[in-house]
Amino acid sequence: MKKDLLGINDLTKEDMKAIIARAIAFKKDKGNTSYRPLVGKTIGLIFEKASTRTRVSFEAAMFQLGGNVTFLSTRDTQLARQEPLADTARVLSRYLDGLVVRTFAQETVEELANHATIPVINGLTDLYHPCQILSDVMTVIEKKGAMEDLKVAWVGDGNNVAHSWIEAAATLGFSLSLACPGGYGPQPEVLEPALKKAQKPILPFEDPAKAVEGADVINTDVWASMGQEDEAAERQKVFRPYQVNSELLRLAKGDAIVLHCLPAHRGEEITAEVLEGPQSVVFDQAENKLHVHKAILAMMIK
Ligand code: CP
Ligand code: NVA
């Protein structure tokens, strides 16, 4: 039966470790262009929101593995003219070998997956960004070794990226502290099951200093995600105390690393000094999306 990747909860701990191990192997083997397991295969990228990294890294990953990609901006497909998702999924399954979907509602990727006979991969929804977290965890493992003994801090919005970090903490078993302003924390439908499953503490705070204290990894993201443009001005005010700056970074361990999935807004959620500073690993993190996406495609596309 085909397998989808709609959220981190679709993966076991062993699955996550296997994808990351494969990605690390791809990274080591970077110069090898003879491994082409996906010759003759084509994936579709249905993107309803902007993307630089996810789109290009999935495209490059598929090409490097010998396959092809067709990019489907929703405004150019019949989805823009209300063709049902179920029909789209069934038709595309006759042409393609997999779909990567970036959209608003999680229900959209679920509906596509329910009707497709090919794997559907979530390339970001309002609720989750699972592929991103696999690259983030790979980056932490590269820099710090095993996750289990680390303390990870999330500072800022309790958004799609935070949600996937929460599910990763529960699945992999590492400690995660989140500092989010009141009313902007993670959704209970994500947090509560994770708290039940977790072996290590997942601690929500409002005070960023508390979340960051003694952390090995500090992670942040934009204050207004795609689709929240109308709230951006209000969020600027609310999130101001949640900026990742050198003062906040001093509360973490001296060798803490800083992650940001990018794109970043310097001077908002993170200062240029921290983003460009010696503790920032954001460009390795961005590169790792390519290796992780190669691993996902090599393991999921049949
Ligand atoms: N991190 C990430 O998903 O970037 P893009 O929006 O550029 O794909
Ligand atoms: N939370 C951000 C992530 C972008 C990669 C957004 O959804 O816009």
Q: Is the CB of 51 under 6 A from ligand 1?
A: yes
Residue 43 CA to residue 71 CA, distance in Å, equals 9
Report residue 1 as tokens.
């039966």
Q: Is the CB of 53 under 6 A from ligand 1?
A: yes
The pLDDT value given to residue 74:
80
95 alpha-carbon distance from chain centroid? 27
Residue 140 is which amino acid?
Answer: V
Q: Which domains does the chain have, with CATH numbers?
A: 8-129+288-300 (3.40.50.1370), 130-285 (3.40.50.1370)
Listing DSSP states for 252-281 in one string gives S-TT-EEEE-S---BTTTB-HHHHTSTTB-
Q: Is the CB of 52 under 6 A from ligand 1?
A: yes
Average pLDDT over residues 260-272: 98
What digits encode the pLDDT tens for the residues 108-145? 999 999 999 999 999 999 999 999 999 999 999 999 99
Q: Whose CA is closest to atom 1 on ligand 2?
A: 225
Q: Which ligand is nearest to the CA of 293?
A: 1
**Cβ-contact 194, 166 below 8 angstroms:** yes
Q: Quote the ligand 1 centre to 52 CA distance (angstroms).
A: 6
Nearest to 192 by CA among 220, 174, 161, 170: 170
Q: Whose CA is closest to atom 7 on ligand 2?
A: 225
Q: Whose CA is closest to atom 3 on ligand 2?
A: 225
pTM of whole model > 0.75? Answer: yes
Q: How confident is the model at residue 49 (pLDDT cuts 50, 70, 90)?
A: very high
Q: Quote the ligand 2 centre to 163 CA distance (angstroms).
A: 12
Q: Is the CB of 221 under 6 A from ligand 2?
A: yes
Q: Which ligand is nearest to the CA of 53?
A: 1
The pLDDT value given to residue 196:
98
What digits encode the pLDDT tens for the residues 155-202? 999 999 999 999 999 999 999 999 999 999 999 999 999 999 999 999
The pLDDT value given to residue 162:
98
Q: Is the CB of 226 under 6 A from ligand 2?
A: yes
Mutate which of 124, 190, 259 for ligand 2? The one with the most ligand atoms within 8 Å of its CB, which is: 124
Q: Is the CB of 159 under 6 A from ligand 2?
A: yes
Mutate which of 48, 53, 133 for ligand 1? The one with the most ligand atoms within 8 Å of its CB, which is: 53
Tell me how many degrees the CA angle 173-252-211 measures, rounded to the nearest 5.
60
Phi-psi region of 271 (alpha: psi -120 to 50; beta: other; left: phi over 0): beta
